[in-house]
Amino acid sequence: MFHARNFLAIAAPALLVASSAAAQTRVTFTRDVAPILLERCATCHRPGEIGPFSLLTYEEARPRAAAIARAMRDRTMPPWKPEPGYGDFTGSRRLSDHEIDVIQEWVRAGSPRGDAADQPTAPSFPTGWRLGTPDLVVTMPEAYMLPGGGRDELRNFVVPIPLSGARYVRGIEFRPGNNRVVHHANLRIDRSGTSRRLDRGDGKPGFDGLITTGSFPEGHFLGWTPGQLPPLAAGDLAWRLEPGSDLVLQLHMQPSAQPERVQAAVGFFFTDQPPERTPLMLRLGRQNIDIAPGTSRYVEEDSYVLPIDVEVRAVQPHAHFRAREVRGFATLPDGTRKWLLFIKDWDFYWQDVYRFATPFVLPKGTTLAVQFVFDNSTANRRNPERPPARVRWGQNSTDEMGDLWIQVVPQTPADREHLRADFGPKVLAEDAIGYEKMLETDPRNPRLHNAVAAIDLALGRIGPAAAHLEESLRLDPESAEAHYNLGTALARQGRTAESLAHLRRALQIDPRHVAAHVNLGVALRSERQFEEAAAEFRRALAIDPANAAAHTNLGGTLAAQRRLREAIAEYRAALQTNPDLLEALTDLSWILATSPLREAAEAVRLAERATSLTEGRDVRALETAAAAYAANGQFELAVMAQQRAIDLAEAAGNRSGLEVLRARLDLYRRGVAYSEP
């Protein structure tokens, strides 16, 4: 007979064991959740950082448990937009499925605390600067008061960078100065003084940010979005920062209900190691975007075929509110597709630079491509217009954009120059389309006319550029920049007298306009007014002592006067700032090869650098190399270089200088070096 008391006596230990096992397997904050939050969330969600609340303790996390679980389940937090399997990036914040399941189970269990002994020690987070102590910190000279309410504001702020000499930058860290209202920032470098002039315009700190000034360092991203912290660059990819530079902070600010004080700061981290290679930035994207209201699928595509091999380091997509998907990929010459990036749920508020964990090489002939999908319907919960309205390309966040920036490193300096020359016109042509569209909606904006003209000048469209500049000056007769650009355009049309008048007027308005001094000097030199030209170049150098264009042009002016020692010093100063400046390389090499101040070995080194940069396709570089080889007694190489120069000149139909080139070729064949008379 089965006795109940005996059953209970036997069964009780089994029940106790089961209860103990359940206690061990139940998810708790201290043992299971805290490690996830400390590793994945606390970089932003801790005191003093950009997260709106801290998640370091149970008391901080428990009231938000359901919201945390929902955000993680939807993958809105932590913010990491790239889809797995479409590019392997450093610094991924994407949670694993297991981590998400742990958080969900914790909430379903009632968000228990757990044993205090299981609580991990919080990491030792850096206080202040997250990358360490910067070598230099610069801060906006004045705080800006952002008015409460209203629309987003895009504004540029100019911050002088106090340097006594050039430095190499391996990284920067941006601190917004107000986490509540600064949405993102772009950082550019301006050595022209243009930004300072614009900053004086309206009596408030900064100036309208719709049109940017300055430029990114060659081949580098300088930007910030919440949570983004670019790592310090490898030493081989540092970038050069010149004295006299200004940092231009383009801040996108979103007002709160009350006025907010904004005063951003930037920390610079330097290295003594000059860059071994310099990257380039390739931008894919179209600026003819025009999306009708209600359109649920609008596709923008762009592509480019690489003319050289490149190493790919990073990608950065950019779009506004109506973008939904971003696809970037490379199709190799054999038809193989390699993904660069795929984001299937684009969010304007979480943009980032994505750096590949392992850089990779794409061969010549690879097609780079991007596809953006936009949704301008009510189904897009992020659409800022209710009901949807027509949207076109533009700089405001309520406009639309779609760009994919790709950071690549060419294998050689010559490859880099080849890629720059091949890709540059594509980008400028697209910029021209975009700014023309902006002019359609704002035709009385003188700065827009000036911006379009600058693009036209770069594309060689002198007539359209002059027309835009004349309109810009009609709208704003006191614009030094428009006078300068019009003077430059007129000089390229051979209208020297008119050019001189506009350049001088630019300098009357702004005596510290370095580029206007340089171009005025060039125009004066073309009229053989050498002393006046030299004076303008020296005025430019008094303002910007490291200006390579001023040093080079002053060197050319002094050389024309046969003041060769002074000319050599100027060319060397130019090359100290820019070692790849072609005009300085060839002009200095020519003097050292053909003048009484002959230094044949250095002439050869400089000329070989010039021919390498131009891949042996530049007549001037080749004839300079021939003269240098001959001066150094290398007549066989001199003959080969000179013959190549002749062949290129004939192929280009340039017969005016052939007689001189052939006469020098005859000298080299006879073992005679060329000397300037």
Residue with tokens 């370095």: 514
Q: Which residue, 105, 109, 120, is CA-closest to 36? A: 120
Residue 378's contacts (CB-CB under 8 Å, 6 or more residues apart) are: 294, 386, 387, 388
Q: What is the 3-state secondary structure (H, E, C) of 491-503?
A: HHCCCHHHHHHHH
Q: What is the reported pTM? A: 0.81
Number of CB atoms found within 10 A of residue 165's CB = 9
Class of domain 443-501: mainly alpha
Do 284 and 170 form a contact (C-beta atoms < 8 A)?
A: no
Per the DSSP assignment, residues forming a β-bridge with 89 are 356
Q: Distance (Å, rounded) from C-alpha 50 to C-alpha 448?
A: 35
Condensed to tens digits (0 to 9), the pLDDT of residues 514-560 reads: 999 999 999 999 999 999 999 999 999 999 898 999 999 999 999 99
Task: Give the residue, 340 or 20, on which the prediction is more confident.
Answer: 340
Do 351 and 184 form a contact (C-beta atoms < 8 A)?
A: yes
The domain segmentation of the chain, as residue ranges, is: 23-118, 136-271, 282-434, 443-501
Condensed to tens digits (0 to 9), the pLDDT of residues 288-323 reads: 999 999 999 999 999 999 999 999 999 999 999 999
**Domain 136-271 architecture:** Sandwich (2.60)
Do 262 and 221 form a contact (C-beta atoms < 8 A)?
A: no
pLDDT at 114 over 50: yes
Residue 129's contacts (CB-CB under 8 Å, 6 or more residues apart) are: 173, 175, 267
Per the DSSP assignment, residues forming a β-bridge with 240 are 168
Condensed to tens digits (0 to 9), the pLDDT of residues 424-446 reads: 999 999 999 998 888 988 899 99
Fold of the 282-434 domain: Jelly Rolls (2.60.120)
CATH topology identical between 282-434 and 443-501: no
Condensed to tens digits (0 to 9), the pLDDT of residues 21-40 reads: 444 458 999 999 999 999 88
Do 529 and 506 form a contact (C-beta atoms < 8 A)?
A: no
* pLDDT given for residue 21 in this prediction: 41
Tell the burial category of 366 from Cβ atoms under 10 Å away from its Cβ (0-12, 13-18, 19+): buried
Q: What is the DSSP letter of 180?
A: T
Residue with tokens 């006879």: 670
Condensed to tens digits (0 to 9), the pLDDT of residues 469-502 reads: 999 999 999 999 999 999 999 999 999 999 999 9
Query: Is the C-alpha dihedral spanning 158, 161, 166, 169 positive or negative?
Result: negative
* pLDDT given for residue 235 in this prediction: 67
Q: Which residue, 25, 26, 34, 93, is CA-closest to 62? A: 34
Rounded mean pLDDT of 115-123? 88
Of 75-89, 124-138, 352-366, minimum mean pLDDT range: 124-138
* Residue 116 phi, psi dihedral angles, 5° rounding: -60, -25
Do 51 and 45 form a contact (C-beta atoms < 8 A)?
A: yes
Write out the H or E segment, with its range, that includes residue 583: helix 582-594
Q: DSSP alpha helices (H): ranges in 150-235?
A: 194-199
* Residue 634 phi, psi dihedral angles, 5° rounding: -100, 70
Number of CB atoms found within 10 A of residue 148's CB = 12
Q: What is the DSSP letter of 235?
A: G
Do 459 and 418 form a contact (C-beta atoms < 8 A)?
A: no
